[in-house]
Structure 1
């Protein structure tokens, strides 16, 4: 009997890991710990090699099966993120974003690094987002580096600053229920696109009201996207929401993550020194993702991200001018 069930502990551990991976959304979200579990899911892959070693040591078919089940589950969930999309051609829009950190002592250097990525649209969070201190403006040293290349700038900065190579149609507006947000239509040579720049509330496990505010802002943003009839939308910013967080589903029901579509890996962005989770995102509708990358770190606690986007084939050149 003992021989028959040799490796049972390994099998049980593997089965439990697979069940957590597959059924994480069923875990109650008490004080945000369900969201925290969601955010940690990619790291459950580290359990697989440990189980594999244990299975080899036990020399048991039961243990081997126990190691394979979570390996397959993890592969199904995260494997597609590592399959590069094969899309030829040049991008129509390059979007770059970074939470530059309010305590950044070298904003000019950070701006130069972002400018070197040659964005068509640049979104910067925490660029002095205190409306009393800065009167809703951006840091002059940062702006001096960006303005020459990207001449169109959102006129105010509620914690999210935006530059564009192409002009805006009308005055940018805020998203109801999302204080640090602005959206506007941008007129590009390839057609119009609605850009939503956002910096959602922080996520702190165990702090119920903070998490409730983040979750409410995710839903408010999702409601605005659902109500937007535009065929082409870009949402970019620090969403303080991991790619695997159950709350992000409210957005990904109608938008596609550029990183996932480009097949460029998990692309963690925070903390910058040793990224453990992706909090910064580019989500799109009606656009193709040719590339998505995490750029080298600068003086910030978040790493910058880049997304190369293309308007769908068959578009009318200059449509929407």
Structure 2
């Protein structure tokens, strides 16, 4: 009798242990390997929330020492791939909580970049087609580069890193289709329409020698009226042991933003290698005053495997429509072309 009682007690205790194990999300023996879908993948869920936070609050990172914010914002769209990777892992783990958490980065990414995936409208009668290209001071075939850009038949072509003797080649090759052009320092603009009031644009950061000249401003007389056109090449960003060195680029962007703010001509177009993406807080002096492309990613750098667009087209009192890349030239950048509707 004692043995049977002990056996019944053990049986009831074993049943209670198995029930408790299932309640905790384990298997019948209380092992954690078969946990509930709402318990598995909590680390993946946390990573999904972190990804969403970086997408939505990337500006907060901008204030941290070492400049990680600028680096994050340069590659911000690629956080979408992180969400895709987490989705695959969540499906593999059969984690419901991770799948629900992934709605956060997917929604944030779609809000920020989803519109860029939509197709652009067809060309309009009142549009200007513009091309922006850093042609590279090491380009071994400037004539072929010039012909490739002209084949796109844009109204305006902005070029950076113009150095002799390549500059002479660009001028000669583009002259038949672009009778108007202006060059200041290492930047230039070619136009099908007359230009006037061209001047050097001083965007030189402190500590840079006098010979540094990477900006110009001119007025283009289009069939729809005057447009102030700016061409700029901002300083490069360097990644070192102390972090991301973007101070000179940011200072130059500030000077350029002040020039745009003081511009008397209502319509303004900015074309240039800004060494920054439109999501980068370093370009806030410009993006706060001008609009950017509504359609298209147009990743332009490096040409061999483009991962970011640092070649920009912006406008004030005008709308930048679809932006796209053109075929590779002899440069380490891809050319970008955009359609601009004058308001």
TM-score tier after normalising by the smaller chain length? 0.7 to 0.9
Instruction: Give the 3-state SS of the residue equivalent to 1:288 in structure 2.
Output: strand
- Partner residue of 2:221 out of 179, 184, 187: 187
CA drift at 1:208: 6.8
Q: Please point out which of 311, 317, 322 is paired with 1:291.
A: 322
Quick check: 1:162 aligned with 2:196? no
- SS of match in other structure, 1:31: coil
C-alpha contact 2:160 2:272 (8 A) present in aligned 1: yes
How many residues matched? 300
Give TM-score, length-normalised by structure 1. Answer: 0.87
* 1: CA distance, partners of 2:56 / 2:155: 38
Q: Which runs of 5+ in 2 are unaligned?
A: 1-23, 26-34, 206-212
Equivalent runs, 1:1-321 vs 2, <5 Å: 1-2=24-25, 3=35, 5-27=39-61, 28-86=63-121, 89-128=124-163, 134=164, 139-154=167-182, 156-177=183-204, 179-206=213-240, 210-257=245-292, 259=293, 261=294, 263-264=295-296, 266-312=297-343
In 2: Cα distance, 1:72 partner to 1:66 partner: 11
Q: Which has the higher contact order (CA 8 A, sep 6+)?
A: 1
Q: Could you list the runs of 5+ residues in structure 1 that have no partner in the other structure?
A: 129-133, 313-321
Contact between 1:268 and 1:294, CA under 8 Å: does it hold in 2? yes
Give RMSD over aligned pairs.
2.0
Q: What is the CA–CA distance in structure 2 between the aligned matches of 1:55 and 1:69, rounded to whole Å?
A: 14
Instruction: Give how far 1:210 is off.
Output: 4.8
Structure 1 counterpart SS, 2:110: helix
Look at both structures and tell me which one has the larger radius of gyration over its CA atoms: 2
Measured after TM superposition, the shift of residue 138 of structure 1 is: 5.9
CA distance in 2, matches of 1:193, 1:52: 47
SS of residue paired to 1:109: helix
Provide the rounded CA distance (Å) in 2 between the counterparts of 1:220 and 1:292.
25
Runs of 4+ in 1 over 6 A off after TM superposition: none
